[in-house]
Structure 1
């Protein structure tokens, strides 16, 4: 995921950063690579060399057809090696992903590794259970986090860092 030219579509959740930032810096390597607190819409997306004005225009139209929405993060959940905040509702995130994949089926979520789309905001990964327990206890005391989701951002990796390239506004 850190190869030069890899792109990602993400919903940046600025309101989460004060709550999860210090934990992400310690336990989520993407934070030190320039990725803010976010919910992934699609990674990897198209190689950066394929993203031209036409693709940007299509993304602008695709995301502009979706309404902005309010989301709450009020609980932690886990995958086998990931601690994350679960968004509620999560369907608007799923709809964004599904629409991008319907247009670019050659770019399945996470390279096709997972059968189900589960929107999430990663806080920590690759840690032992007691570390997840500690982080979860600290986070739970500071929840919920509420955010108005009004855009999707295109990020590009240079091989070391991720940088925002373009932001696409949702309608409303």
Structure 2
């Protein structure tokens, strides 16, 4: 049994779509990054890689590599799930939190949960997705960025 944790943060900017857990969220700003900048999926990927004692997502999908420019993070997550499986692990569950002042994410949680579960070949009951604010503190609290935390439990195959 292995536990992994992941974290990611991206700046919010105008002119980009907001993608969280593979779902496009209606909002006037999106997250800035080399790929689609999906902070939630990135945090989950790092948690999975860490639990399997593998390198971080920047190692497997370096931002300076043009192959990953604008990449769909759900496809990257699927590759990470394969890597973890090749190491002899299977995912027992994932728990995650998105930290954002706006937009309100509650209406989107079921779709995000279902999309992430599908990408990891899990039941939605194995994927926890929550949202909270940063109480107007720091860059996230000021609406300049979004962050996400994730924890995963891996079991031997």
Return the TM-score normalized by structure 1. 0.27
Return the TM-score normalized by structure 2. 0.29
Q: Rg: which structure is higher?
A: 1
